[in-house]
Amino acid sequence: MVHRRELNGQEIVFGNQGDLWLNAMTLFDHETGSIWTQPTGEAILGERTGETLELLPSTLSTWADWKATHPDTLALDVMTVGSGVRLGRLVAVASVDGETVAVPFPDLQDAGAYPTTIAGEPVLFVADQDVDQWAVYSRVIDGEERALELRDGMVFDPATGHRWDPALGSSVDGQAPLDRIPSFSSFAKDFENHFPEGELVDLG
């Protein structure tokens, strides 16, 4: 998951605190030493307890699949070993106004798309069925809710015939790009631990 490291107009510098909380990494901020949990971006100990960072859209993908759709990406080249984390073991999570919904990635990839509503926001979970990538977009376009679906490998609006790239949200016929919804990948058990009020969808 990715959070904006700015709070109330102030840029915050973080470090790895070194401990796990509910099986997730914790951070500390250099200014106050407060401890933050990674999944929710919330300070759980110290002066900033209860403050929460803004969640940003993110996804987990293989480097090859990412480069295929984002060829200009630059990355730090370091000597490391593979993490062993595969999307097939994870759930895709979207969050709107504190309400969270998770969809198992294998189910999402099989279905191609899953339209739903989170905290009153019509959204579309979509997975590229050829590569390991997924995203969540708003289904509100020009102020109107749309019944978006995945058709012929593209996000498709049956009402207008417009199409968008599922990985990028960019239009292929001159329309505005789709709005991304804050989202991230998680293990199902970790999702249940950190978002006990969240919904884990069964598409089977």
The pLDDT of residue 100? 95
Which residues have a Cβ under 8 Å from the Cβ of 128 and sit 6 or more positions away? 65, 69, 134, 153, 166, 167
What's the rounded Cα separation, in Å, for the pair 28 and 126? 34
Least confident of 3-17, 35-49, 77-91: 77-91
63-200 fold? Rieske Iron-sulfur Protein (2.102.10)
Tokens 């490291």, located at residue: 5
Rounded distance between C-alpha atoms, residue 104 and residue 175, angstroms: 30
Q: What is the pLDDT of residue 88?
A: 76
How much is the pLDDT for 65?
78
> What CA–CA distance (Å, rounded) separates 35 from 45?
5
pLDDT in tens, 138-182: 999 999 999 999 999 999 999 999 999 998 899 999 999 999 999
For the stretch 57-85, pLDDT in tens is 887 777 887 888 889 998 887 766 666 66
Model confidence, pTM = 0.83
String of DSSP letters for the chain: -EE--EETTEE--EEEEEEEETTEEEEEETTT--EEETTTTEEEESTTTT-BPPEE------HHHHHHH-TT--------------GGGEEEEEEETTEEEEEEHHHHHHHSEEEEEETTEEEEEEEETTTTEEEEEE-EETTEE---EEETTEEE-TTT--EE-TTT--BSSSPPPPPBPPEEEEEHHHHHHH-TTSEE----
Domain ranges of the chain: 2-54, 63-200
